[in-house]
Structure 1
Amino acid sequence: MNIDDLIAIDFHTHAEEPCCGPRDDGYDDFQAAMAKYFKNPAGAQGMLPSVQQTAEYFRERRIGAVIFPVDSERETGFRRYSNEEVAQIAAENDDILIPFASIDPAKGKAGAREARRLVREFGVKGFKFHPTLQGFWPNDRMAYPLYEAIADEGAIMLFHTGQTGVGSGMRGGMGMRLKYSNPVHIDDVAVDFPDTPIVLAHPSFPWTEEGLMVAQHKPNVYIDMSGWSPKYFPPIFVHYANSILKKKMLFGSDWPAITPDRWLSDFDGLDLKEEVKPLILKENARRLLKM
């Protein structure tokens, strides 16, 4: 990957389609609800992009992309997209894709072994956690064997924070419990793993100030700005991005729910200092990824 040729690095893109054959029962309804929430017709029509199509889309735009599946088999019953498959396709498109993986922390020692193998054999750079979708408190000691493996391997932890479009409008919210995604619980993880980079995904609504607090206080914590169009960012979020957290904010779209085209267009409308924009769009990610 030639970073200098890229205009940006998107720190938050999804490998959405399940592996191992056709979609699971209920997956179409889940994606239709997500599409309605994000006003994204592709999901409702069963036309979500493959990892290869994602690579082609981002290559056309000269945007690097961190890409990952989400292992939520235990809570949703939907088969996860194979971490190995995502990493292999990313390796075939390593001019544009940066592979992350996802493992449910409830998989314990087996999950920890998988994490080590993914880093060593498949070049995985980080791991995505979704406390609401995976149904766990980020500071639950149950998750620590997996965190320890990630820390030992020098990889990055990326945590969903705040409200989620997953299950929004569905009966019982599809069983999703929003309480797990308050970023204040990730503060404990930052204390216990002080040398491991941790990224809080999204503006953490309605706990935006808690997310900013953790990122300001803990040197190893960053924020990716995905999941929201920038025109809806709370003023305090923009203020911190423009000042004391300018070296800790990362561009992220939440592809395919939100396209980088839409995100970047709205980002141009923010009242940000000119010297801050390149930090958010590429340089902070470049430093964090050690590229």
Structure 2
Amino acid sequence: MPVIDAWMQHPTLRHSNHEMFESLRRWTGRGLLEEPLPVKATVSALAAADVEVGLSSAWYGPQGALITNDEVAEFVAQSDGRLRGVAGADLTKPVQAVRELRRAVQELGFVAFRVVPWLWQLPPTDRLYYPLYSACVDLGIPFCTQVGHTGPLRPSETGRPIPYIDQVALDFPGLTIVCGHIGYPWTTEMIAVADKHANVYIDTSAYTARRYPRELVDYLRGRGRRKVLFGTNYPMITPSQALEHLEELGLDEETTELFLAGNARRVFSL
């Protein structure tokens, strides 16, 4: 069954070796990268789990870009169609950020926009986000963001679904929002926001199937079957690792197809 990975990145050395990821390296037992990871290694990791498309994201923060949009475009060009780009931008320069987002979508062919709020220590309701939300609506692309606690060594408050995602969805009812990392320990809040707003979705990145919270599994098996997307947070977790215990979730065939690919294909217009 084909798979779409809704949240991953092909890393640069600036990204992988950043000091804030020390906690993730400790959890995974992986050391610093000594040389850039080849795109073919990422493509092989995706292919090993039948991942048809990985949505590879740029990373922009207040100290500069860890993965630029142009670097993502180059990774996409080397991927034999296995990667699609997700844009980033510098929130502190609103006019330039909107122009860069438009360039990434209209010239580079990117399919979404992502901001990781804890990088900026600004919640998604901060005024610096709002011009970019308007641009996403105009461009017809989803806004992707992180919810839940912060694994890297940064504060977690910006990842609360309520009030932040709830308020953004109220202010921009035409904006599609994909919330990565499940929302734990506020998973019930995240489910409530996804239920409330037609255009709010959850992706399972940063968690393997055996670690999905019970309430998320119940939601996925029931009314949330069209609201949850598969993601990995590669290279922290490979698709094969993330999917290893999928059969233990007890999903029927239709739900499995929607979760692994169908919902992402629809939400990202792939």
Q: Paired residue for 1:102? A: 88
Provide closer, same or farther for how the CA distance between residues 287 and 225 of structure 1 changes in structure 2, counting only shifts above 3 A. same
Per the alignment, in what secondary structure is the counterpart of residue 269 of structure 1? helix
User: Is the CA contact 2:58–2:88 (under 8 Å) kept in the aligned structure 1?
Assistant: yes
Q: Paired residue for 2:188? A: 209
Q: Give the number of aligned pairs.
A: 268
For residues 182-193 of structure 1, the aligned pairs below 5 Å read 182-184=160-162, 185-193=164-172
Unaligned runs of 5+ in 1: 1-5, 168-175
The offset of 1:46, in angstroms, is 4.2
The offset of 1:203, in angstroms, is 1.5
User: Is the CA contact 1:71–1:104 (under 8 Å) kept in the aligned structure 2?
Assistant: yes
Per the alignment, in what secondary structure is the counterpart of residue 140 of structure 2? coil
Per the alignment, in what secondary structure is the counterpart of residue 71 of structure 1? strand
For residues 22-101 of structure 1, the aligned pairs below 5 Å read 23=14, 27=17, 29-37=19-27, 39-41=28-30, 43-46=31-34, 49-63=37-51, 64-72=53-61, 74=62, 77=63, 79-93=65-79, 95-101=81-87
RMSD over equivalenced CA pairs, Å: 2.1
User: Are 2:123 and 1:137 equivalent residues in the alignment?
Assistant: yes
Cα distance in structure 1, aligned partners of 2:250 and 2:35: 35
Cα distance in structure 2, aligned partners of 1:166 and 1:50: 24
Q: Paired residue for 2:113? A: 127
Cα distance in structure 2, aligned partners of 1:47 and 1:162: 31
The offset of 1:84, in angstroms, is 1.5
- Specify which of 207, 227, 231 is matched with residue 228 of structure 1: 207
The offset of 1:149, in angstroms, is 1.4
The one-letter amino acid of 2:2's match is I
Per the alignment, in what secondary structure is the counterpart of residue 150 of structure 2? coil
The one-letter amino acid of 1:148's match is S
Provide closer, same or farther for how the CA distance between residues 86 and 52 of structure 1 changes in structure 2, counting only shifts above 3 A. farther
Cα distance in structure 2, aligned partners of 1:80 and 1:98: 18
The offset of 1:220, in angstroms, is 0.5
Per the alignment, in what secondary structure is the counterpart of residue 80 of structure 1? strand
TM-score w.r.t. the length of structure 1 is 0.85
TM-score w.r.t. the length of structure 2 is 0.91
Q: Paired residue for 1:11? A: 6
The one-letter amino acid of 1:261's match is S
Cα distance in structure 1, aligned partners of 2:104 and 2:176: 18
Provide closer, same or farther for how the CA distance between residues 118 and 30 of structure 1 changes in structure 2, counting only shifts above 3 A. same
Cα distance in structure 2, aligned partners of 1:60 and 1:265: 12
User: Are 2:147 and 1:161 equivalent residues in the alignment?
Assistant: yes
